[in-house]
Structure 1
Amino acid sequence: MAEISADNAPKQRVKAARRALPEAWFAWLLVAPAVIFIAVIVAWPLAETVRLSFLEADLGGEEWVGLANYTDLAESRRFHDTVLRTFYWMFLSVGLKLILGLIGATLLNAAIPGRALFRVLVMPPWVIPIAIGCFGWLWLYNGHFGLISGMLQRFGIIDGPFEFLAYKSSAFYSAIVTDVWIGTPMVTLFFLAAMQGVSRDLYEAAWVDGAGRWYRFRRITIPQIMPVIVSMALLSAIWTFNSFEIIWILTQGGPRGATTTLIVDTYKTAIGNYKFGEGAARAVIIVILLAIFSLIYLFFLNKVNRRYGAK
């Protein structure tokens, strides 16, 4: 009996607290830890970033400058180029991830021998630490002892060593290849899970009616997993937009700013040059851009849900 009383003691204390407090106060008491966590981890740093964006802040102190940091960014052609480069980086990388992920999920969902093994082999780029993967790609892109340059020379495509990360165009697209290699497995697994949730009865009915593979893919698979595709597009876009490690390890934003995105530019300004106010203004703009992008996503997601009957 003593053990039963001890086990019931926490429940009795909760019931006593509920009787002593009004229902609304008790509800707020339950959510208070989550509210405090969000306030400390999210709200306070965001508010401090907004405050810093109106200051000329560096190691020497702070001085109120109002909207000067934002005005400088609005008049900076270099900043405009960085914004356009960031969106180009995001859309190209996300587009390739979605296309390759859809193809990979379709193949992994097919009834082929060794399917379980292939599903395991697709995961390493996503599972291993990003830094380790990027260092592997650094070796591949090296012009003198890298595998890619060596193979191109062996097949006579190029005459001599080619440094992929030393030229603006090749460095930018090399960074995209690395980002796609790292992000595609996650997209593939999400799409694969969605495809496995599609009722087999739909495919069997279409097969009985004489529908081919391509028709079943277009008319059944894609519509059924469209909400997942849209959701995955947003998540991948946000992660790619804020991607820092890949670019920093490969090129640190070079050569000559060719791979500098907004997140890299913000880091260089705030941490590299100790211009905390200017860096904070860039961070606020990133938040605003992502918020606008998320609202657009929610609009299209609602349209997709209404069209395809997602609940």
Structure 2
Amino acid sequence: MSVQRSTVLFAWLLLAPALLYVTVIVAYPLVQTFILSFTDASLKRTTEWVGTDNYERIFNATFATVIGRTFLWTFFSVVLKMGIGIFGAAMLNAAVPGRALFRLLTMPPWIVPMAIGIFMWGWMYNGQFGMISGLLQNFGITDGPVAFLAQGRTAFWATVVTDVWIGVPLVTLYMLAAMQSVPQDLYEAAWTDGAGRFYRFRRITLPLIVPAIITMSMLSLIATFNSFDIIWILTRGGPSGTTTTMIIDTYSTAIGSKRYGEGAARAVMICLFLSVFCFAYFRLVSRLSGGMKR
């Protein structure tokens, strides 16, 4: 065997575990879901091919509202997480006394098991004995109890706040690592020229951490778009569907109503949306990389 052929064979052997994982864990279930979306699969023993009926059925006014609500929920959650995370990282990166303690205090929302944290927020949102409602009444802001999870508008924002609380620590730590990778001599040169703290942050820090911001935004977008636990534990998509996102609608259709074919079609739609996001992300990263090389 030639040296070149043995090198290629060795490379394929190294790639084999990853290829096996992608084929068995990712590709096969994805293909099966796509095939299932063209059937009327349910609890009945026989399954018939229905073509695009499942897709035609979900493209109605209700599903369009669910799509719009999903995009709004994802947009506000990601924007708030990124904004608070970048601001928090900038504060933690500053040379202030007790910086190590402040960094440690950012971890609890991420360390606490997600279900426990969500249940905690559910208790705080309770109108009768919740802490938030009690504080609003004590300060005279409201005249009576406020049941945040029982009203559509407040329930929507309550789930957003909970998602932001859970997601901010990861964004903060990621942005902090990106900021610490910025060469210190750039700050020293700017400080020597009389540049203020805000000017240095705007002209040095932000431009150099743009790739990290884009990467973290994309990861956060995918995780938020597919977020199930927060909404399901707090509201189960209610009240009256005001917090129903695409992932909640897919679960309710496939598992709750046992209409597996329609649920698979909804899952395929989610996959398509996220594929578009990923494609846009890679195009943006490639453009940024090309600009930096030039």
TM-score (norm 1): 0.90
Deviation at 1:71, TM superposition (A): 1.2
Contact preservation (8 Å) 1:165, 1:174: yes
Please give the alpha-carbon distance, in whole angstroms, between the structure 2 residues aligned to 1:81 and 1:124: 35
Say which of 196, 199, 205 aligns to 2:180. Answer: 196
Runs of 4+ in structure 1 deviating by more than 6 angstroms, as ranges, are: none
Please give the alpha-carbon distance, in whole angstroms, between the structure 1 residues aligned to 2:178 and 2:218: 16
CA shift in 2, pair 1:164/1:310, >3 Å: farther
Please give the alpha-carbon distance, in whole angstroms, between the structure 1 residues aligned to 2:9 and 2:193: 61
Please give the alpha-carbon distance, in whole angstroms, between the structure 1 residues aligned to 2:99 and 2:182: 18
Between Structure 1 and Structure 2, whose CA radius of gyration is higher? 1
CA shift in 2, pair 1:32/1:255, >3 Å: same
Corresponding pairs, count:
292
Q: Which runs of 5+ in 2 are unaligned?
A: none
For residues 11-69 of structure 1, the C-alpha deviation after alignment (integer angstroms, 9 at most, x for no partner) is xxxxxx999x8654454344333322221111111111001000001000311100111
Say yes or no: does 1:149 pair with 2:117.
Answer: no
1:239 is aligned with what amino acid? A
**In structure 2, the residue corresponding to 1:165 is in which secondary structure?**
helix
1:169 is aligned with what amino acid? R
Contact preservation (8 Å) 1:226, 1:304: no
Say which of 10, 28, 47 aligns to 2:12. Answer: 28
Aligned to 2:58: 73
Please give the alpha-carbon distance, in whole angstroms, between the structure 2 residues aligned to 1:131 and 1:79: 28
Say which of 53, 64, 71 aligns to 2:49. Answer: 64
Say yes or no: does 1:229 pair with 2:217.
Answer: no
Contact preservation (8 Å) 1:50, 1:280: yes
CA shift in 2, pair 1:30/1:207, >3 Å: closer
Contact preservation (8 Å) 1:126, 1:186: yes
Higher relative contact order (CA 8 A, sep 6+): 2
Please give the alpha-carbon distance, in whole angstroms, between the structure 2 residues aligned to 1:67 and 1:156: 56
Aligned to 2:191: 207
CA shift in 2, pair 1:231/1:30, >3 Å: closer
Alignment of 1:99-114 (within 5 A): 99-114=83-98
Identity %: 57
Please give the alpha-carbon distance, in whole angstroms, between the structure 1 residues aligned to 2:61 and 2:277: 22
Aligned to 1:252: 236
Say which of 126, 149, 163 aligns to 2:110. Answer: 126
Say which of 37, 40, 44 aligns to 1:53. Answer: 37
**In structure 1, the residue corresponding to 2:233 is in which secondary structure?**
helix
Aligned to 2:287: 303
Aligned to 2:155: 171
1:302 is aligned with what amino acid? S
Please give the alpha-carbon distance, in whole angstroms, between the structure 2 residues aligned to 1:244 and 1:65: 29
Aligned to 1:3: none
* Root mean square deviation, CA, Å: 1.7
Q: Which runs of 5+ in 1 are unaligned?
A: 1-16
Please give the alpha-carbon distance, in whole angstroms, between the structure 1 residues aligned to 2:151 and 2:30: 37
CA shift in 2, pair 1:302/1:22, >3 Å: closer
Please give the alpha-carbon distance, in whole angstroms, between the structure 1 residues aligned to 2:200 and 2:70: 36
Say yes or no: does 1:162 pair with 2:146.
Answer: yes
